[in-house]
Structure 1
Amino acid sequence: MTQAEQLAAFVVQASYGDLSKSVCQQLKIRVLDALGCAIGAMDGEPILLIRSQNEDFGGTSRCTMIGGGQGAPDRTAFYHSALVRYLDFNDSYLAKGETCHPSDNLGAILAAAEYAHQKGQVFMTALAVSYQVHCRLSDVAPLRAKGFDHTTQGAYAVAAGVSKALGMDQTKTAHAIALCGTAFNALRVTRTGKLSHWKGLAYPHTAFGCTHATFLAMRGITGPLGVFEGNKGFMDTISGRFEIDWSRENLERVNQTIIKRYNAEIHSQTAIEGILELKEEYGFSAAEVARIEIDIFDVAYHIIGGGEEGDKTLVSSKEEADHSLPYMIAVAVLDDRVMPDQYLLERIQNNDVQALLRKVTVRPSEAYSRQFPDQMPCRITVSLLNGRLMVKEKQDYEGFHTRPIRWETVVQKFERLSSPYTDAPLRREIIDAVANLDSIQIAYLMRLLAKVQVSMA
């Protein structure tokens, strides 16, 4: 069999019985976390534009949209994926040369599972499959250094998860993987230099296109089954050679994914927790700060610290702010939190944060780089105008796999993000539905999510 056919065999053979107790619990935590992110993004500018386009285009009403209305599965996948991704607050997976957000697959799998009238157990299995595929390809075939975006590996994860949710056989699943892997090889420029809306929409677009392609495969459309190892395939042209024995894979990788405590790019989480701890311990104010120095692992430096992906002191939009460690540290000092309100345009443009972020220096550390991704280490040094020096060194944060986040903490995050768009009884119904995800129909969860309001503020 080709690599695509071997992966398809893994997808088809996966079952709910393969999910350990830990995996089931961690999947539910990540579903609730992602839904909180989605509901909290309901009135985001690009979200409203996407919803307007879906309504304008019309089409079949086979799937329910969060916030009401219905649409075709591929457009619903795009919309839901954009909701999950817009705040940049959903989960992550850290490989040595790649970072991905496996809950980016949730929107597509929700749409497919509702279309196919699936139970929660099938949905959970499909989601676990997508997590495993996305994370393992990030492990063995990192692409960031080669100029390709992590959505490239995600195409295979969407194909795998949607195929599982639709109950497709091995042959059609293999062709779905072939179609998606061939067609969606995205450029890393999405996340370098001056950032745009596309930073948050690149994966939703992959979810849209791969959902569409997987439905084509369901109907019999074929693709190049040598997509991985074939002449001018993925290995030849992009990733280089790698091996995964899919017959030996399990569904445990979700346990290694991590959840954000702060509404900030994933590599910033330890540093933000550290600066907030320093401020609480010493009680200094922003006006007293002469400079803040952050020594951190090289991946964080290059993506959010001013390394190879561009200057991070030039911040004028949400997309630039949540990928700027100087901005996130500065706003944490000023506001004692980093949540969606810290990315409102008027907050970003305020002179206080613009002045303070220029006092933040980020440096790569070889020692910390060697510890990543098993740890997320950093050292924060705050120098005050009176000469006082405060230092904190950290290895991880609450939400990292060494300090796993609890269900109760994610419930609090969900409540905080969703409260402007829901009332308390609806929030409780959604929380209970996710807690009992393996004993409900996905259609029931979608009926609850349809009651979310675009704005109740």
Structure 2
Amino acid sequence: MEMANDKYRDVVADSIANYVARVPKALDARTSHAAKSVLVDSLAVSLGALGHPAAQRARRHAYRFPMKEGGSVIWGTLQRTTPELAALTNGVLLRSYDYNDFFVGKRNSGHPSDMIGGVIAAAEWAGASGKELLSAIAVGYEIVAAMFDSFSTYPGGWDYTNLTSIGAASAIATVLKLDAPQIREALAMTVVPHLASDEIESGDLNARGDLTMWKRFNGSDAVRNALQACLLASVGVEGAVRPFVGKYGFIGKLALKEDTIPELLQLLNPEKPLSRVAETYMKRWPVGSVAQSAIQASLAARAQIKDLSQIKQLRLFAEEGAYEHLVKIRENPFQPISRETADHSLPYIVTAAVLDGFIRTESFDPERVLQPSRQAFLRDKVTVEPAPELGSLAGGKLKRAEAGYLSRVEIELNDGHVIKGEARPFPGHPKNPFIDADLEAKLRENAAPWGGEERIERLTDQLFSLDTLTNTRSLTELLAFDAPIDTPVQGEELAES
């Protein structure tokens, strides 16, 4: 029997499971604070997106499966649903405005905070303490960081969520106190049934001229699947025997190289304390990561201009990755027609920053995007060029990210004077990190319009003292409120809840 077990052993599944079960869950002060910061940032983003069309549709689905007792809160409402549906529904909020954190590893990048909705739903359902929630988040980020360093999803055309789901399963398993054999089965049921294609990043536009709405669901769907896998494993359900290294397993399907497995195993050292949640990048503005430096440079230049009518030309010089992602591969980036085409257009993003003096979620409202004067400025006065000296594709994404996805701006006035916005790491970058006041401001700015100043002040206090809470439900009670968030979407009347 032992020979059979050895023959069908999956070293990746076993190693991750053993690591998650064995790694000490006590956090040092730096890691605990980083986990709290992730929660503050994630809830700021989530509560600010309560009115987004994708979030409304997710709630319409969840409302059909109410739970009067138990279950998990549907954020921004007084209703509850199953933990899995709460993970899906609340997780959509995180990706609605492309405003949550991101992590760049040696071989992959993505948004580890996708897991937050699912981890909170599991903690609420299980009655976990605040300290246990923080530890689970730290475990999840540790696994995501290791996966991003070891594996690339790009060769097979797969989405990053295939890797973040493994971190989510690890975090949720920690909350649910699964043992190593159960964690192994949960991992098997996470990675084999739910391979996600990167087709959502194709840039194809739907009938409304938007990118696919599923981009707002893909992360939370992966986390929902991870939560379901953990719940199934907790009652004895078993997954594939060799989910990672089998003939048709995860590594083979994603066209990953098996020679990266030793690197992953080396990273999964339970003797080292949890720490990598502190390495995540955060965003000051609700657009993709590669546009953050460009916004900073544009706002800095704009602050020096007294009369915007005197602008003759706005020239943006962007590192090659930003140019590739937000100009070259986009359809008509100088003529956006919707929210999604605008917030994925580097020319429009810098135009909005200069004309308005800010970038907020309303910067991409269709009526603002389509203003004739704005479209004319964008068409006639804005140029964007790749600047390999700021970051090159050949140098790799990690190097560009570590520099800060740099962009610089030159604004030429009618009198020939040129005003410059320098290329610098953006707020939230490890070289220009948020302080607590920045996080509090982001939470207040995004969440107070929905939850009210008093509630958000209490939420802020509770998040920064989370390790003193005996039950996570004290936190989720503050996320349960009756906000006016269910309104007609795209001409449809929302179903009664």
Matched, 1:454 2:484: yes
Cα distance in 2 for partners of 1:62, 1:456 equals 21
Write out aligned runs for 1:208-223 (5 A): 208-223=224-239
* Alignment partner, residue 11 of structure 1: 20
Listed as ranges, the gaps of 5+ residues in structure 1 are none
TM-score for the superposition, normalised by structure 1: 0.93
Contact 1:36-1:413 within 8 A present in 2 as well: yes
Runs of 4+ in 1 over 4 A off after TM superposition: none
Cα distance in 2 for partners of 1:133, 1:347 equals 41
Contact 2:131-2:466 within 8 A present in 1 as well: yes
Larger radius of gyration: 2
Matched residue type, 1:326:
P
Query: How far apart are residue 412 of structure 1 and its match?
Result: 0.8
Query: How far apart are residue 443 of structure 1 and its match?
Result: 0.7
User: Cα 1:347–1:443, aligned 2, differ >3 Å: closer, same or farther?
Assistant: same
User: Cα 1:115–1:372, aligned 2, differ >3 Å: closer, same or farther?
Assistant: same
* Alignment partner, residue 401 of structure 2: 373
**Aligned to 1:361, what secondary structure does the other structure show?**
strand
Matched residue type, 1:13:
R
* Alignment partner, residue 61 of structure 2: 53
User: Cα 1:321–1:98, aligned 2, differ >3 Å: closer, same or farther?
Assistant: farther
Cα distance in 1 for partners of 2:105, 2:312 equals 35
Cα distance in 2 for partners of 1:206, 1:154 equals 8
Matched residue type, 1:54:
A
Matched residue type, 1:118:
A
Listed as ranges, the gaps of 5+ residues in structure 2 are 1-8, 206-210, 488-497
Query: How far apart are residue 22 of structure 1 and its match?
Result: 0.8
Contact 2:114-2:220 within 8 A present in 1 as well: yes
User: Cα 1:108–1:196, aligned 2, differ >3 Å: closer, same or farther?
Assistant: same
Write out aligned runs for 1:39-438 (5 A): 39-58=47-66, 61-67=70-76, 68-144=78-154, 146-193=156-203, 194=205, 195-238=211-254, 239-241=256-258, 242-243=260-261, 244-245=264-265, 246-247=268-269, 250-283=273-306, 285=308, 288-296=311-319, 298-307=320-329, 311-358=332-379, 359-365=382-388, 368-369=391-392, 370=395, 371-376=399-404, 377-438=406-467
User: Cα 1:357–1:8, aligned 2, differ >3 Å: closer, same or farther?
Assistant: farther
Q: Percent of pairs identical after alignment?
A: 23
Could you report, residue by residue, the CA deviation over 1:274-331 in whole angstroms, capped at 9, with x for unpaired residues? 11111113446266232423231x3322222324x65533422322222221121111
Instruction: Report the aligned-residue RMSD.
Output: 2.2
**Aligned to 2:293, what secondary structure does the other structure show?**
helix
Query: How far apart are residue 454 of structure 1 and its match?
Result: 3.4
Cα distance in 2 for partners of 1:401, 1:366 equals 21
Query: How far apart are residue 452 of structure 1 and its match?
Result: 5.5
Contact 1:42-1:454 within 8 A present in 2 as well: no
